[in-house]
Chain A
Amino acid sequence: MTSPGDERARLEGAEGDFVERLAAAYAPPPMTGAERAAFDEGVRARLERPRLRRPLAAAIAAAAAATLLWLAISDSIGPSHLPGEEEVEAVVASSWEDELFLGSDLSASEDRDESEALPRDYLAIASAFLDG
């Protein structure tokens, strides 16, 4: 690699000076002896550190892939669309409006919905003991 400044020297006077000024103003101070020693010590410490990064990165990548796969599968086999709050409100409102304007029995429909939601076993028990 070349020594500093050869390309900079090719710049014409004013531009060369401008770049020179930037180079001087935008630089860290040279390292002291203690800083050099601390730096070397830091490099040593990093070298002695076990190389965990690669297995860790692989584990993270595997976990991310598994999550994506799980999301893809659950999307394809699960309900494609869950009703949002607005949609639920719209259904409730439409039932209430139906009763008011069309005369349909809201409580009956609620009862029906509830019994339909019960499992068959519970329905059998309910009919045996309650309806008797």
Chain B
Amino acid sequence: MVSGAAAAGDSIAAANLEQRFTAFVATHRERARRLAWRLVGGDAAAAEDVTQDAFVKAYRALGRFREDSTLETWFYRILVRQAHNHRRWRAVRLRWSGGSGEDAPDPSPWPARDPGLGRRIAEALDRLSRRQREAFILVHLEGFTVRESAELMGKPTGTVKSHLHRALRMLRAELADLRDVDGGCRK
């Protein structure tokens, strides 16, 4: 009787967990995939891989989180780290393959409205340091606050602000022409 009740309780807990997880995925799927896409340099397949892995990790830890906000921070932190690991492995694979570009992201399905511009931005971001790139993408492209980004990057807010400042200065220099064209900053 007791074991039956326990089993019923377990199945309810499992169902609740499933429900919470499904809701969590539905809420964060789009933003997480976009963030991963930006962090890995516009590689759609890699972004999907990184995002799905992060969700699986979130699911396995779901029971430990009482509030979804904590889970959210933790989830995005995992995602940022997964994306970084992906970039590292890609760099290693490229080095081993003699930099032939075999493992480079497939440029053909570049989905942005202006593929040339998208690729230029990806290259400019690539030239930033890891922390500068992460700070810029999290704060300016994804809209996380500096405090949230600091938490996701595991760095103090002052450090994130400094990375952000340098990243913006370097990108403005690299993509200076964007500020002078129609639709840009100066008309």
Contacts and interface: CB of A to CB of B under 8 A. Distances in A.
Interface of A: 1-8, 11, 13-15, 17-19, 21-31, 36, 39-40, 42-43, 46-47
A39 B143 contact: no
A8 B178 CA distance: 17
Interface string B144-187: 11101000000000000000000010011001001100011110
B66 interface: no
| Contact count band on B | 35 or more
A126 B174 CA distance: 83
A19 B168 contact: yes
Contacts of A46: 52-53, 55-56
A28 B44 contact: yes
B34 interface: yes
Contact of B145 (A7, A30, A31, A39): A7
A2 B30 contact: no
B140 interface: yes
B83 interface: no
Interface stretch (B2-10, B85-93, B109-117): B109-117
Contacts of B178: 18, 21-22
Given A7-B139, A15-B168, A46-B53, 17 more contacts: A1-B73, A1-B148, A2-B148, A4-B143, A14-B185, A14-B186, A15-B172, A15-B185, A18-B185, A22-B121, A25-B114, A26-B118, A28-B33, A28-B37, A31-B30, A39-B48, A40-B25
